[in-house]
Amino acid sequence: MASKKPTDAIALLKEDHRKVEALFEMFEKARASGRKQALAHEICTELKIHTTIEEEIFYPAFRGKIEDDTLDEAYVEHDGAKVLINDIEAGGPEDDFHDAKVHVLSEEIKHHIKEEEAPSDGMFAQCRKTDVDLVALGEAMWTRKQALLDQAKTGGLPAARTRVVQLVEA
């Protein structure tokens, strides 16, 4: 389902944050195995798309314009999430630790969101202080997101790749 185009890059990312937070809440309340499986899949898909547009478009646009440590930490947090995403997608609700993995992923994502959205010194606050055109950046991210959503519907997304794997393959 195509979402309404957000006003800028940060608005798009915050919209994604709210959506995945809601999905985690639904997962925590779900009892039926099939429902948990569907929600876990949707969470993983949303996070793979979100991390892709951040890593391909958003983060590179701010390298050298905000604190490098902020960006480096975000990449590492993504890698931790990707390991869990791949584990969750490889299994199912009947597997040992499945619910625990989704719960830990939820906690990691909450931490990541808190750091990005911190009002005064978070990544988004730092980004708003730069000369980057957030509207144009948001349009590029939205276009990429729609392509990834289409890919997810038609053939599925590949396993999430950590930066270490990407660097080794390069």
Q: In Å, what is the CA distance from 101 to each residue of 47, 68, 81, 119, 153?
A: 14, 29, 10, 29, 24
The answer to whether residue 1 is domain-embedded is no
The answer to whether residue 160 is domain-embedded is yes
DSSP states of 108-164 as a string?
A: HHHHHHHHHH-TTTSHHHHHHTSS--HHHHHHHHHHHHHHHHHHHHHT-PPPP--HH
Digit-coded pLDDT (tens) for 99-137: 999 999 999 999 999 999 999 899 999 999 999 999 999
- What pLDDT, on a 0 to 100 scale, did the predictor assign at position 1? 41
List CB contacts of 149: < 8 A, sequence separation 6 or more. 1, 2, 49
Digit-coded pLDDT (tens) for 142-169: 999 999 999 999 999 999 998 865 555 6
**Structural domain of 129:** 9-169
Please say whether the beta carbons of 87 and 101 come within 8 A. yes
Q: How many domains does the chain divide into?
A: 1
The answer to whether residue 2 is domain-embedded is no
The answer to whether residue 3 is domain-embedded is no
Please say whether the beta carbons of 59 and 74 come within 8 A. yes
